[in-house]
Amino acid sequence: MNTDSSTRFIFKGADIRGNLVRLTDSYQSAIGNHDYPDDVKLLLGEFLVAAQLLASTIKFEGTLTLQAKANGAIRALMAETTHDGETRGIAQLAEDGTRYDFSALKDGLLAVTIAPTGKQNYQSMVPLTGSNLSECLKHYFDQSEQLGTLFHLAVAGEEAAGMLIQQLPRQLETDEKLREEHWNTTQILSNTLTKEELLQKDNATILKHLFAEEDIQLLGSTPVTFTCSCSQARMAGALASLGSAELEALFSEEENVELTCEFCSTAYTFDAASLTRWLSGDQATH
Protein backbone atom coordinates (compact mmCIF):
# COMPACT_ATOMS: atom_id res chain seq x y z
CA MET A 1 0.00 0.00 0.00
CA ASN A 2 1.36 3.42 -0.98
CA THR A 3 1.66 5.70 2.05
CA ASP A 4 3.36 8.58 0.25
CA SER A 5 1.12 11.63 0.37
CA SER A 6 0.76 15.39 0.23
CA THR A 7 -1.85 16.70 2.68
CA ARG A 8 -3.22 20.23 2.80
CA PHE A 9 -4.55 21.99 5.88
CA ILE A 10 -5.91 25.42 6.81
CA PHE A 11 -6.15 27.55 9.93
CA LYS A 12 -9.88 28.10 10.22
CA GLY A 13 -10.66 31.78 10.67
CA ALA A 14 -7.13 32.86 9.70
CA ASP A 15 -5.34 33.62 6.44
CA ILE A 16 -2.84 30.79 6.89
CA ARG A 17 -2.55 27.47 5.11
CA GLY A 18 -0.11 24.61 5.08
CA ASN A 19 0.89 21.26 3.69
CA LEU A 20 2.53 18.13 5.05
CA VAL A 21 4.38 15.74 2.72
CA ARG A 22 5.60 12.22 3.47
CA LEU A 23 7.64 10.15 1.01
CA THR A 24 9.02 6.66 1.40
CA ASP A 25 8.48 4.49 -1.68
CA SER A 26 8.79 7.34 -4.18
CA TYR A 27 11.94 8.63 -2.48
CA GLN A 28 13.52 5.16 -2.50
CA SER A 29 12.56 4.67 -6.15
CA ALA A 30 14.22 7.96 -7.10
CA ILE A 31 17.54 7.10 -5.45
CA GLY A 32 17.47 3.31 -5.84
CA ASN A 33 18.74 3.19 -9.42
CA HIS A 34 21.73 5.43 -8.71
CA ASP A 35 24.91 5.12 -6.69
CA TYR A 36 24.63 8.57 -5.15
CA PRO A 37 26.78 9.67 -2.20
CA ASP A 38 24.78 9.83 1.05
CA ASP A 39 24.69 13.65 1.08
CA VAL A 40 23.23 13.67 -2.44
CA LYS A 41 20.54 11.20 -1.42
CA LEU A 42 19.54 13.54 1.41
CA LEU A 43 19.47 16.58 -0.86
CA LEU A 44 17.46 14.81 -3.54
CA GLY A 45 14.97 13.73 -0.88
CA GLU A 46 14.59 17.37 0.18
CA PHE A 47 14.05 18.44 -3.43
CA LEU A 48 11.39 15.76 -3.99
CA VAL A 49 9.52 16.88 -0.86
CA ALA A 50 9.92 20.57 -1.70
CA ALA A 51 8.48 20.04 -5.20
CA GLN A 52 5.34 18.57 -3.62
CA LEU A 53 5.07 21.44 -1.15
CA LEU A 54 5.44 23.99 -3.94
CA ALA A 55 2.82 22.24 -6.06
CA SER A 56 0.38 22.48 -3.16
CA THR A 57 0.49 26.30 -3.27
CA ILE A 58 -0.90 26.64 -6.81
CA LYS A 59 -3.82 25.34 -8.83
CA PHE A 60 -2.62 23.86 -12.11
CA GLU A 61 -2.76 20.83 -14.36
CA GLY A 62 0.62 19.92 -15.70
CA THR A 63 4.14 19.66 -14.31
CA LEU A 64 6.15 21.59 -11.73
CA THR A 65 9.94 21.33 -11.76
CA LEU A 66 12.29 22.45 -8.99
CA GLN A 67 15.88 22.62 -10.21
CA ALA A 68 19.20 23.84 -8.87
CA LYS A 69 22.18 24.40 -11.15
CA ALA A 70 25.71 25.14 -10.01
CA ASN A 71 29.35 24.73 -11.01
CA GLY A 72 30.56 22.76 -8.00
CA ALA A 73 30.62 19.09 -7.15
CA ILE A 74 26.87 18.96 -7.81
CA ARG A 75 26.07 20.20 -11.30
CA ALA A 76 22.30 19.94 -10.98
CA LEU A 77 19.54 18.67 -8.74
CA MET A 78 16.04 18.32 -10.12
CA ALA A 79 12.69 17.15 -8.79
CA GLU A 80 9.56 17.08 -10.89
CA THR A 81 5.93 16.48 -10.00
CA THR A 82 2.62 16.54 -11.79
CA HIS A 83 -0.51 18.06 -10.28
CA ASP A 84 -1.69 14.57 -9.33
CA GLY A 85 1.47 13.54 -7.48
CA GLU A 86 3.52 11.67 -10.08
CA THR A 87 7.12 12.49 -9.23
CA ARG A 88 10.70 11.79 -10.25
CA GLY A 89 14.10 13.34 -9.59
CA ILE A 90 17.76 13.21 -10.50
CA ALA A 91 21.18 14.53 -9.49
CA GLN A 92 24.07 15.26 -11.85
CA LEU A 93 27.51 15.25 -10.24
CA ALA A 94 30.94 16.45 -11.27
CA GLU A 95 33.45 13.65 -11.79
CA ASP A 96 36.03 15.28 -9.54
CA GLY A 97 33.73 16.22 -6.67
CA THR A 98 34.67 15.64 -3.05
CA ARG A 99 31.94 17.38 -0.98
CA TYR A 100 28.33 16.81 -1.93
CA ASP A 101 26.41 18.65 0.76
CA PHE A 102 24.43 21.85 0.16
CA SER A 103 27.63 23.91 -0.02
CA ALA A 104 28.33 22.17 -3.36
CA LEU A 105 25.50 24.30 -4.81
CA LYS A 106 27.07 27.58 -3.71
CA ASP A 107 26.67 30.46 -6.18
CA GLY A 108 24.15 28.50 -8.23
CA LEU A 109 20.59 29.26 -9.23
CA LEU A 110 17.29 27.82 -8.05
CA ALA A 111 14.53 27.66 -10.65
CA VAL A 112 10.85 26.80 -10.35
CA THR A 113 9.18 25.99 -13.68
CA ILE A 114 5.45 25.48 -14.17
CA ALA A 115 4.40 23.71 -17.37
CA PRO A 116 0.58 23.85 -17.48
CA THR A 117 -0.98 21.38 -19.91
CA GLY A 118 -1.69 23.13 -23.20
CA LYS A 119 -0.42 26.50 -21.99
CA GLN A 120 2.83 28.44 -21.98
CA ASN A 121 5.48 27.55 -19.41
CA TYR A 122 6.58 30.11 -16.86
CA GLN A 123 9.65 30.15 -14.68
CA SER A 124 11.02 31.99 -11.65
CA MET A 125 14.66 32.02 -10.59
CA VAL A 126 16.53 33.13 -7.48
CA PRO A 127 20.17 32.79 -6.39
CA LEU A 128 20.95 29.81 -4.18
CA THR A 129 21.50 31.96 -1.12
CA GLY A 130 21.23 30.50 2.36
CA SER A 131 22.73 27.52 4.10
CA ASN A 132 20.04 25.02 3.12
CA LEU A 133 17.14 24.47 0.74
CA SER A 134 14.51 25.68 3.22
CA GLU A 135 16.17 29.09 3.43
CA CYS A 136 16.47 29.31 -0.36
CA LEU A 137 12.79 28.52 -0.81
CA LYS A 138 11.84 31.14 1.76
CA HIS A 139 13.91 33.64 -0.22
CA TYR A 140 12.16 32.51 -3.41
CA PHE A 141 8.74 33.32 -1.96
CA ASP A 142 9.96 36.61 -0.48
CA GLN A 143 11.16 37.67 -3.92
CA SER A 144 8.61 36.20 -6.32
CA GLU A 145 5.36 35.74 -4.41
CA GLN A 146 5.80 38.20 -1.55
CA LEU A 147 3.96 35.82 0.77
CA GLY A 148 5.33 34.83 4.16
CA THR A 149 6.29 31.17 3.74
CA LEU A 150 8.20 28.70 5.90
CA PHE A 151 9.61 25.33 4.87
CA HIS A 152 10.69 22.48 7.14
CA LEU A 153 12.43 19.56 5.42
CA ALA A 154 13.74 16.32 6.91
CA VAL A 155 15.33 13.22 5.37
CA ALA A 156 16.69 10.19 7.21
CA GLY A 157 17.02 6.54 6.32
CA GLU A 158 14.29 5.58 3.86
CA GLU A 159 12.00 8.53 4.55
CA ALA A 160 11.68 12.15 3.50
CA ALA A 161 9.14 14.60 4.90
CA GLY A 162 8.31 18.28 4.90
CA MET A 163 5.93 20.96 6.09
CA LEU A 164 4.98 24.27 4.53
CA ILE A 165 3.26 27.12 6.38
CA GLN A 166 2.12 30.12 4.34
CA GLN A 167 0.40 33.40 5.10
CA LEU A 168 -2.28 34.21 2.55
CA PRO A 169 -3.40 37.63 1.31
CA ARG A 170 -5.66 39.44 3.78
CA GLN A 171 -9.22 38.16 3.69
CA LEU A 172 -10.38 36.67 6.99
CA GLU A 173 -8.18 38.71 9.33
CA THR A 174 -8.83 42.36 8.56
CA ASP A 175 -6.95 43.95 11.48
CA GLU A 176 -3.38 44.29 10.17
CA LYS A 177 -1.77 44.36 13.62
CA LEU A 178 -3.58 41.23 14.81
CA ARG A 179 -2.88 39.55 11.50
CA GLU A 180 0.87 40.13 11.83
CA GLU A 181 0.89 39.07 15.48
CA HIS A 182 -0.88 35.85 14.51
CA TRP A 183 1.61 35.16 11.74
CA ASN A 184 4.61 35.89 13.96
CA THR A 185 3.28 33.50 16.61
CA THR A 186 2.68 30.85 13.96
CA GLN A 187 6.27 31.18 12.76
CA ILE A 188 7.67 30.83 16.27
CA LEU A 189 5.58 27.73 16.98
CA SER A 190 6.40 26.23 13.57
CA ASN A 191 10.12 26.63 14.22
CA THR A 192 9.90 24.40 17.31
CA LEU A 193 9.24 21.40 15.04
CA THR A 194 12.17 18.97 15.07
CA LYS A 195 13.24 16.78 12.18
CA GLU A 196 12.59 13.70 14.30
CA GLU A 197 8.98 14.78 14.93
CA LEU A 198 8.43 15.57 11.28
CA LEU A 199 9.63 12.12 10.24
CA GLN A 200 8.08 10.05 13.02
CA LYS A 201 4.77 11.68 14.03
CA ASP A 202 1.54 11.52 12.07
CA ASN A 203 0.06 14.68 10.57
CA ALA A 204 -2.68 15.20 13.16
CA THR A 205 -0.24 14.77 16.06
CA ILE A 206 2.24 17.25 14.58
CA LEU A 207 -0.39 19.93 14.07
CA LYS A 208 -1.96 19.43 17.49
CA HIS A 209 1.45 19.60 19.15
CA LEU A 210 2.56 22.73 17.31
CA PHE A 211 -0.69 24.67 17.23
CA ALA A 212 -2.68 23.48 20.24
CA GLU A 213 -4.69 26.71 20.46
CA GLU A 214 -5.58 26.80 16.76
CA ASP A 215 -8.60 25.40 14.95
CA ILE A 216 -6.94 23.53 12.08
CA GLN A 217 -8.75 21.56 9.42
CA LEU A 218 -7.02 18.81 7.50
CA LEU A 219 -8.09 18.82 3.87
CA GLY A 220 -7.66 16.26 1.13
CA SER A 221 -4.51 14.23 0.52
CA THR A 222 -2.91 13.55 -2.85
CA PRO A 223 -1.12 10.19 -3.22
CA VAL A 224 2.48 10.58 -4.40
CA THR A 225 4.06 7.96 -6.65
CA PHE A 226 7.37 7.66 -8.46
CA THR A 227 6.53 7.72 -12.17
CA CYS A 228 8.95 8.16 -15.04
CA SER A 229 7.68 9.58 -18.33
CA CYS A 230 10.34 7.89 -20.45
CA SER A 231 9.23 5.63 -23.29
CA GLN A 232 10.46 4.00 -26.46
CA ALA A 233 8.83 6.79 -28.45
CA ARG A 234 10.54 9.56 -26.45
CA MET A 235 13.91 7.88 -26.80
CA ALA A 236 13.37 7.53 -30.53
CA GLY A 237 12.69 11.25 -30.64
CA ALA A 238 15.89 11.93 -28.70
CA LEU A 239 17.90 9.91 -31.19
CA ALA A 240 16.23 11.67 -34.12
CA SER A 241 17.34 15.02 -32.72
CA LEU A 242 20.94 14.02 -33.44
CA GLY A 243 20.35 14.43 -37.16
CA SER A 244 20.50 11.97 -40.02
CA ALA A 245 24.26 12.25 -40.59
CA GLU A 246 25.17 11.42 -36.99
CA LEU A 247 22.61 8.62 -36.85
CA GLU A 248 24.02 7.09 -40.02
CA ALA A 249 27.49 7.20 -38.48
CA LEU A 250 26.24 5.58 -35.27
CA PHE A 251 24.55 2.67 -37.01
CA SER A 252 27.52 2.17 -39.32
CA GLU A 253 29.61 1.44 -36.21
CA GLU A 254 27.05 -0.44 -34.12
CA GLU A 255 24.13 -2.61 -35.16
CA ASN A 256 22.19 -1.53 -32.05
CA VAL A 257 22.18 1.74 -30.16
CA GLU A 258 21.13 1.73 -26.51
CA LEU A 259 19.84 4.72 -24.55
CA THR A 260 19.33 4.60 -20.79
CA CYS A 261 16.88 6.87 -18.98
CA GLU A 262 18.71 9.03 -16.46
CA PHE A 263 15.76 8.99 -14.07
CA CYS A 264 14.76 5.33 -13.82
CA SER A 265 17.69 3.57 -15.58
CA THR A 266 15.41 1.79 -18.07
CA ALA A 267 17.40 0.84 -21.19
CA TYR A 268 15.96 1.25 -24.70
CA THR A 269 17.58 -0.45 -27.68
CA PHE A 270 17.18 0.51 -31.34
CA ASP A 271 18.53 -0.79 -34.60
CA ALA A 272 18.21 1.29 -37.75
CA ALA A 273 15.02 -0.46 -38.84
CA SER A 274 13.21 -0.17 -35.50
CA LEU A 275 14.15 3.50 -35.16
CA THR A 276 12.74 4.15 -38.63
CA ARG A 277 9.50 2.43 -37.66
CA TRP A 278 9.14 4.55 -34.53
CA LEU A 279 9.85 7.77 -36.37
CA SER A 280 7.64 7.06 -39.36
CA GLY A 281 4.74 5.44 -37.51
CA ASP A 282 1.76 6.90 -35.71
CA GLN A 283 3.50 6.99 -32.31
CA ALA A 284 4.29 10.44 -30.87
CA THR A 285 7.96 11.03 -30.27
CA HIS A 286 7.55 13.92 -27.82
> Domain residues for 174?
5-226
Measured CA distances, 181 to 18, 169, 173, 185 (Å): 18, 15, 11, 6
Identify which has the larger pLDDT, 258 or 160. Answer: 160
pTM given for the model? 0.89
Closest Cα partner for 211 from 228, 194, 188? 188
CA 192 to chain centre: 24
> For 228, which DSSP code?
-
The pLDDT of residue 139 is above 70: yes
Q: What is the pLDDT of residues 67-120, one digit of tens each?
A: 999 988 999 999 999 999 999 999 999 877 678 999 888 889 999 999 999 899
The answer to whether position 286 is within a domain reads: no
Are residues 163 and 124 both part of a single domain? Answer: yes
Are residues 216 and 244 both part of a single domain? Answer: no
Are residues 236 and 193 both part of a single domain? Answer: no
Are residues 201 and 260 both part of a single domain? Answer: no
Burial of 42 (0-12, 13-18, 19+ CB in 10 A): buried
The answer to whether position 285 is within a domain reads: no
- CATH of residue 185: 3.55.30.10
